[in-house]
Amino acid sequence: MPVLEAFGLAKSYGATPVFASIDLCLQAGEMVALLGESGSGKSTLLNCLAGLDEPSAGRIRLASAVLTDLNESERALLRRQHLGFVFQAFHVLPHLSVAANVGLPLLLLKRQNPRRVQAMLDAVGLGDLGARMPRQLSGGQLQRVAIARALVHRPALVLADEPTGNLDARNAATVLDLLLEQVHAEGSACLLVTHSERAAARADRCLLMTEQGIVEHNVQAHT
């Protein structure tokens, strides 16, 4: 069964439509890139899929729950259990150590597990840096912390919004490869919003947001 299914999603602000006729299906363990012009509604769609915003029409099923039938507190619980997030601006908490940041989703679920935290730190190449504070890390390292945190609780779905937007080309490639590797290893699905065809080419498949809805998109592979 797919991890995420959306049917006929539409979103308007007042009389202004942002998107319409969005159908989407993500399987476990696949990273799907979502491209689209600025303002086409990619971030708004991610917010709807995360249950942070409500679509004007349509239905979303996430991890066998119908998200669009849930109230706000039920959506918050579903988000905590089944979603991981990676943002452009890292969103690592500055007053917590690297290990505490990675362990936060487990703490919130009352499933603390230092061995799992260490395994995720090892997986993203930060095995020796768990005791450091975020200010002692580079941008590329901070995004690796965010990837470890997004996956530590084995979420069904990871939503990544421009995760390499603040990184140089070399760090961007490393971070994307790590995200892809971890998504494959952990069996989560990942929706990667990006402006970069180069980033999109690293995903398992690529979609394009258009005024007619979402369509499959072929990207040229670059290194």
Ligand X SMILES: Nc1ncnc2c1ncn2[C@@H]1O[C@H](COP(=O)(O)OP(=O)(O)OP(=O)(O)O)[C@@H](O)[C@H]1O
Binding site for ligand X (CB under 6 A): 13, 18, 36, 38-44
116 phi, psi to nearest 5 deg: -65, -40
Token pair of 173 as six digits: 């490639």
Q: Rounded to an integer, what distance in angstroms lies between the CA atom of residue 72 and that of residue 75?
A: 5
Residue in 179, 168, 186, 185 with CA at minimum distance from that of residue 202: 179
CB of 49 to ligand X, least distance (A): 12
CB of 40 to ligand X, least distance (A): 4
Q: What is the longest distance spanned by two Cα atoms in the chain?
A: 53
Closer residue to ligand X (CB): 16 or 64: 16
Closer residue to ligand X (CB): 29 or 165: 165
CB of 142 to ligand X, least distance (A): 20
Q: Are strands 189-193 and 157-161 parallel, antiparallel or unpaired?
A: parallel
CB of 197 to ligand X, least distance (A): 14
CB of 38 to ligand X, least distance (A): 3
- Contact by Cβ (8 Å): 162, 195: yes
Q: Rounded to an integer, what distance in angstroms lies between the CA atom of residue 150 and that of residue 161?
A: 12
Closer residue to ligand X (CB): 12 or 112: 12
Closer residue to ligand X (CB): 18 or 137: 18
CB of 195 to ligand X, least distance (A): 6
In 10 A of CB 179, how many CB atoms? 28
Single-letter amino acid code for the residue at 72? E
Closer residue to ligand X (CB): 63 or 67: 67
Q: DSSP secondary-structure letter at 67?
A: G
Lookup result for tokens 């690592």: 92
Closer residue to ligand X (CB): 18 or 146: 18
In 10 A of CB 119, how many CB atoms? 14
